[in-house]
Structure 1
Amino acid sequence: MESNSWKKVLTIAPYTFIPASSGGQRAVYYLDQHLGKQVDLICVSTDGNNTGEDKVPLHFKLLPLLGSGIKRYINPINFIKLKQLIKENQIEVIVIEHPYLAWLGWLLKLATGLPLVIRSHNIEALRFKALGKWWWRILADYERWAHRKASHSFFITKEDADYAVTTYGIKTERTSVITYGLEGQNTLMPQNKQKVVVNYKSTHHIPQDKTLLLFNGIFGYPPNDQALEILMDKIYPELLKLDANFHLLICGRDIPAKYQHQKTENLTVLGFVPDIEQVFQAAEIFLNPIWLGGGIKTKLVEALAGGAAAVSFQSGAIGIDPGLLEGKLKIVPDQDIKAFAQAILTARAAIYTPVPPAFLAHFDWDQIAKKAVHAIRGL
Structure 2
Amino acid sequence: MKKILLLTDVKFWEKCSGDRIRIEELIRFLSTMVKLTVVATGPAPLDIEHFLSLNYAAEFLILEHKKILSSAGYGRRLQKHLKDESFDTVIIEYVHSSYFLNYLQFEAQIILDAHDIVSERGAEFSQYGFAGALYELSSDDEMKLFKLYDYVMLLCKPDQELIKNVIGIEKALLCAHPVPPVTRKLRKKAEKIAFVASAYIPNRDAINWFIRECWPAITDQHQVQLFIYGTVGYELDIQERNDIKVMGFWPDRDSIYNDSDIMINPVRFGAGLKIKNIEALANGLPLVTTTHGARGIESAIDHAFLVGDGTAFAQQLNLLIGNYKLRKKLVGNARAYVEANYSAENCFQSLLNAIL
Q: Same fold (TM over 0.5)?
A: yes
Residue equivalent to 1:328:
304
Residue equivalent to 2:10:
15
Give 1:248-267 correspondences, 5 Å limit: 248-253=226-231, 254-255=233-234, 258-263=237-242, 267=243
Residue equivalent to 1:371:
350
Following TM superposition, by how much is the alpha carbon of 1:46 offset from its aligned partner in structure 2, in angstroms? Answer: 2.8
Following TM superposition, by how much is the alpha carbon of 1:375 offset from its aligned partner in structure 2, in angstroms? Answer: 2.0
C-alpha distance after superposition, 1:37-65 (max 9, x if no partner): 11111111135162565595312111223
* CA distance 1:106–1:291, change in 2 (3 Å): farther
Residue equivalent to 1:341:
314
Q: Which runs of 5+ in 2 are unaligned?
A: none
Q: Does residue 180 of the first structure (1) align with residue 156 of the second (2)?
A: no
* CA distance 1:26–1:346, change in 2 (3 Å): same
Larger radius of gyration: 1
Q: Does residue 119 of the first structure (1) align with residue 92 of the second (2)?
A: no
* CA distance 1:256–1:23, change in 2 (3 Å): closer
Give 1:216-295 correspondences, 5 Å limit: 216-219=196-199, 221-241=200-220, 243-253=221-231, 254-255=233-234, 258-263=237-242, 267-272=243-248, 274=250, 275-295=252-272
* CA distance 1:98–1:188, change in 2 (3 Å): same
* 8 Å Cα contact 2:71-2:99 kept in structure 1: no
Residue equivalent to 1:61:
59
Q: Secondary structure at the match of 2:9?
A: coil
- TM-score, normalization: structure 2? 0.84
| CA–CA distance in structure 2, aligned partners of residues 141 and 70 of structure 1 | 29
* CA distance 1:52–1:143, change in 2 (3 Å): same
* CA distance 1:105–1:295, change in 2 (3 Å): same
Following TM superposition, by how much is the alpha carbon of 1:160 offset from its aligned partner in structure 2, in angstroms? Answer: 1.5
**1:356 aligns with one of 330, 335, 340:** 335
Residue equivalent to 1:93:
89
Following TM superposition, by how much is the alpha carbon of 1:281 offset from its aligned partner in structure 2, in angstroms? Answer: 2.2
Name the amino acid aligned to 1:149. Answer: L
Following TM superposition, by how much is the alpha carbon of 1:276 offset from its aligned partner in structure 2, in angstroms? Answer: 4.4
* CA distance 1:116–1:55, change in 2 (3 Å): closer
* 8 Å Cα contact 2:112-2:152 kept in structure 1: yes
* CA distance 1:292–1:74, change in 2 (3 Å): farther
C-alpha distance after superposition, 1:242-291 (max 9, x if no partner): x325433233333456423121xxx2323315344323223222111002
Q: Secondary structure at the match of 1:215?
A: strand
* 8 Å Cα contact 1:35-1:41 kept in structure 2: yes
Following TM superposition, by how much is the alpha carbon of 1:329 offset from its aligned partner in structure 2, in angstroms? Answer: 0.7
Following TM superposition, by how much is the alpha carbon of 1:216 offset from its aligned partner in structure 2, in angstroms? Answer: 2.3
Q: Does residue 157 of the first structure (1) align with residue 156 of the second (2)?
A: yes
Residue equivalent to 1:37:
32
* 8 Å Cα contact 2:227-2:247 kept in structure 1: no
Following TM superposition, by how much is the alpha carbon of 1:350 offset from its aligned partner in structure 2, in angstroms? Answer: 3.1
Name the amino acid aligned to 1:312. Answer: T
* CA distance 1:218–1:158, change in 2 (3 Å): same
- TM-score, normalization: structure 1? 0.79
* CA distance 1:295–1:257, change in 2 (3 Å): closer
Name the amino acid aligned to 1:92. Answer: D
* Identical amino acids, percent of aligned pairs: 19
* CA distance 1:156–1:115, change in 2 (3 Å): same
Residue equivalent to 1:214:
194
Give 1:297-336 correspondences, 5 Å limit: 297-323=274-300, 327-332=303-308, 336=309
What is the aligned length? 339
My pick for the range that moved more, 313-322 or 272-281, is 272-281
